[in-house]
Structure 1
Amino acid sequence: MQKIYPFLILNLLSQIAYAQSITIDPNASTGLLDAKSTTKGILIPKMSTSQKLAIVNPVEGLMVYDTDAKQFSYCLSPSSGFPILVNCSWVNFGNVQVPSTGWILDGNDVRNTNAGNIGIGTPNPVQKLEVNGNIKAKGLFMPIKYIPKNVNYFVADGDYTILVDGEGACIFMEVTLPNAALNLGRILNFSMLNYINFCNKPNSISFKDHLGNLLTSISIYDNVSSYRNNMTLQSTGTTWVIISDNWVR
């Protein structure tokens, strides 16, 4: 009697295949099941994201169609070198994520949902992205901040190039730089727009540290007839210094 069961199972499969117009190839060399059709496909279970996440103890390789994400999902176990999870983690096709790291490959883009900072070559990043080493880039874009004349300004985290408009009457303003200790190696560019009228005030544009202390080593106007129309600052980790400038005389 036991020898009849395999025959009945094969017969049942062949009946199902015939009823669905699918040919099952018993001679598939590497596949357990080779379903062939030129007019129909294969449907796998469809469910919402919440239903998918409610599956108890999913095994690696389990696959469903997520109707919320409109994508196929499969269960992926953590690779070696990462904390071991009790179960595998669901990953959408096209959004490949290394489990427990937060990095996601989304098409041609790589992104991270981490709410904190990212450090490369440093264990304790204090900025959104902190790199300890040289960076090589092509087509690099750095944001430009425009400051109207006589408006005191606190340099923000995302600032790189700051344009100060000096057209018109005497200019008098303060620029407060961020904490040098938290911005080691950071570079800031300052450029003066239009004609700058300092009205013979050496501190017409004064630079202060994050505590409000005047940085006497950084100035725009020399109290004679010259001023820096372009100046680049860099943090040493203790203070800000001028590393390059261009004088207009």
Structure 2
Amino acid sequence: MNQVISLVVRSNLTQDEMANPLNDVKELDYVKILNKVLPEDIRIHSICLRPPEGFDARFSCLSRHYKYFFEQANLNIEKMQQAASYFVGEQDFRNFCKVDGSKQIVNYKRKIISSSIERTKFGHKTYVFSLRGSAFLWHQVRSMMSILFLVGQELEEPEIVRKLLDVKLFPGRPNYTIASPLPLVLYDCEFDHSVVWSKTLTSDRIQFTKFNQIWVDLGAKYTIATTMKHVIEPSEERSKNGSNNYSTPGKHSYTRIEQRECLEAPDNINKRWLRNRAPGCK
């Protein structure tokens, strides 16, 4: 929701005027100009006219805050909270990501600042996996959420997180499906205090008006989808599991993470990619 990008744009000021911050009020209204050419569901709400030298939207970021929204349904929230707490700290997350040999990543350690399951203010059965860290691997959050869902469904115990963080026990990631990207949001990015954001009252009003309409439209779609769900859902399923239950395999047919085949270890994936890139290889 608060993603940051770096842009090189033309200015309304002369070089001499740029030297004085007081002239910033005469600068082009970048928020208004850029929002005119963006889709309705992508909005710019703030700008930093004077970023520090060498600023990079990606590499200057001190921490990132992700949120993954979900409904409680038949999930054991207490166990999910316990499992989520095991992510905190600097740990090797090679078993919670997708490895790409072309990136040649050799360090899979990442620092998680906070990790928790919280109830949202949007409904007593709506929760969010709130995660803050200095940096993340490819598909890391979705992989973490996938394991948390298995714990919530009581197909795995919370300790499975600790086991997967043990690279001696699991040198390669067990074969499991990562969670859907749809409920995942990059909620905020933290930068040094030298990055000062500014916005106008007019832009705030415009953003609210546009997003309020999006909210109304999505609310209507949600109501229609919920109505259709109740129409087609078998009554015995509704009475047995509740109207919003997750479709989960029975415990008798579920293969536990520790019993699954492991994917190739990251080091081997990197070596294989290099071999395939060597002269004479196809």
TM-score (ref. length: structure 1): 0.22
Structure (1/2) with the larger helix percentage: 2
More strand by share: 1
TM-score (norm 2): 0.20
Greater gyration radius? 1
